[in-house]
């Protein structure tokens, strides 16, 4: 069970400067002042199509673009030590990304380890994000072609984000082929993941039960179908070799009883998103505050959601009325802070808020619109925008909710 705590979601690319330098350390200090125990990030690999961190050309490599010192000296001994330690994927990444690729990974490892240690000293742990799929034509796809099926592509059926579904376009796994290897690729992926993070969110967890596969060449996701996944076998393989793999199951979307059963079998906390609550057409929604679970992670919104102010402006009257009912008795004037206070008061053990909501920003600060291919993943903090006053206010709300460790 997670301890009762809270954190803030902000990707490295959204820091002023977008790098692992002084601004990253300053954000850790801000989180510490704010009484937050967690910093949630998005995938840290090189971004892919449309700047998306979820379409990275590597499931293992760190992004050179995050380096504070991209020209820092690296010795041949350090490169060979890295190659020996990361033998499963290092040579493939070097073949894909070029001669300096491993030197960049040595630099990334140095900078990341230093930042993580600094955060740990201040009681802040890091939450990563596992994009379930890899990029078509990326290092993993090209290096392990037998593990993927190219006649189909990934996506999800029509949902609240898109009437035509979301066509992601990633190659899908050949699960029987992976099974014959003992799920080695996934075991090594989890090994790398927990070299970098203390906890990680598995994006599209339901894909391990069944994935929406769309024929190659389709222009939207409506013509897809569900195909069964490997279930618990991947996680069992990882636990046999690595021990504990602390994960959050992103169980959003079309969630069926087998998805719930898998999450419960694995003992993983699921997710709730406050912006998905207050829907008169879903009176039993797991996102409504009265139906939150203790073993759960509650988000005010994810990277795919609008900010709280942008969401509120777009709410139909019926949903807004239900939200106002839930907010009755929650003190404060600003809508976004009342919603943050409502989220922090949840029984869910872990609560994550978007930094945009701490700042009271509108839709102009949204990170991503699912289904749009351009103009996404660009929002960035301005220097000095996040202040001590913001930290003190968030700390007061978190202390009130019993989420700040003494």
Give 177-199 as a DSSP string. Answer: HHHHTTSHHHHHHHHHHHHH-SE
Model confidence, pTM: 0.95
Mean pLDDT of 159-169: 84
What residues act catalytically?
203, 250, 304
Query: SS3 of 31, please?
Result: helix
Which token pair is 322? 């239900």
Query: What is the CA angle 371-317-304, rounded to 5?
Result: 25
3-41: pLDDT as tens digits:
999 999 999 999 999 999 999 999 999 999 999 999 999
Query: SS3 of 329, please?
Result: coil
CA distance 62 to 64: 6
Q: Which residues pair with 213 in a beta bridge?
A: 154, 225
CA atoms within 13 A on the CB side of 332: 15
Nearest to 132 by CA among 191, 67, 48, 204: 204
Instruction: Give the DSSP letter of residue 249.
Output: E
pLDDT of residue 16: 96
Which backbone phi and psi does 382 adopt, to 5 degrees?
A: -90, 150
Whether the predicted pLDDT of 315 surpasses 70: yes
Mean pLDDT of 255-264: 96
pLDDT bin (cut points 50, 70, 90) of residue 1 is: low
User: Which residues neighbour 391 within 8 Å (Cβ) at sequence distance 6 or greater?
Assistant: 30, 31, 33, 34
CA distance 206 to 147: 19
Nearest to 252 by CA among 280, 273, 281, 235: 273
Q: Domains in the chain, start-ordered, CATH in brackets?
A: 5-400 (3.20.20.80)
43-58: pLDDT as tens digits:
999 999 889 999 999 9
């Amino acid at each position: 069970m997670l301890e009762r705590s809270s954190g803030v979601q902000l990707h490295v690319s959204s820091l002023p400067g977008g790098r692992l330098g002084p601004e990253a350390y300053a954000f850790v200090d801000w989180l510490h002042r704010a009484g937050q125990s967690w910093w949630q990030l998005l995938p840290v690999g090189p971004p892919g199509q449309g700047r998306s961190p979820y379409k990275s050309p590597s499931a293992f490599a760190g992004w050179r673009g995050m380096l504070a010192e991209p020209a820092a000296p690296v010795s041949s001994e350090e490169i060979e030590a890295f190659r020996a330690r990361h033998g499963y994927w290092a040579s493939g990444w070097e073949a894909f990304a070029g001669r300096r690729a491993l030197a960049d990974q040595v630099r990334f490892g140095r900078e990341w380890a230093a930042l993580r240690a600094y955060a740990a000293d201040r009681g802040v742990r890091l939450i990563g994000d596992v994009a379930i799929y890899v990029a078509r034509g990326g290092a993993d796809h090209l290096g392990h072609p037998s593990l993927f099926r190219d006649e189909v592509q990934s996506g999800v059926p029509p949902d609240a984000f898109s009437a035509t579904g979301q066509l992601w376009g990633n190659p899908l796994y050949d699960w029987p082929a992976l099974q014959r290897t003992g799920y080695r690729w996934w075991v090594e992926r989890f090994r790398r993941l927990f070299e970098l993070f203390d906890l990680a969110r598995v994006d599209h967890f339901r894909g391990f039960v069944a994935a929406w596969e769309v024929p190659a060449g389709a222009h939207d996701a409506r013509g897809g179908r569900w195909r069964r996944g490997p279930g618990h076998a991947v996680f069992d393989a990882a636990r046999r070799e690595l021990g504990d793999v602390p994960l959050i199951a992103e169980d959003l979307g079309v969630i069926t009883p087998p998805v719930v059963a898998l999450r419960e079998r694995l003992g993983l906390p699921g997710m709730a998103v406050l912006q998905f609550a207050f829907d008169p057409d879903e009176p039993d929604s797991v996102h409504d505050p009265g139906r939150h679970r203790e073993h759960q992670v509650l988000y005010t919104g994810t990277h795919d959601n609008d900010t709280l102010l942008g969401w509120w402006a777009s709410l139909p009257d019926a949903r807004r009325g239900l939200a106002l009912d839930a907010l009755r008795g929650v003190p404060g004037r600003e809508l976004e802070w009342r919603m943050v206070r409502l989220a922090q008061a949840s029984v869910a053990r872990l609560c994550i808020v978007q930094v945009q909501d701490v700042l009271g920003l509108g839709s102009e600060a949204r990170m991503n619109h699912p289904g749009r291919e351009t103009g996404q993943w660009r929002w960035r903090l301005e220097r000095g925008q996040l202040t001590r006053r913001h930290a003190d206010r968030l700390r007061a709300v978190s202390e009130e909710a019993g989420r700040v460790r003494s």
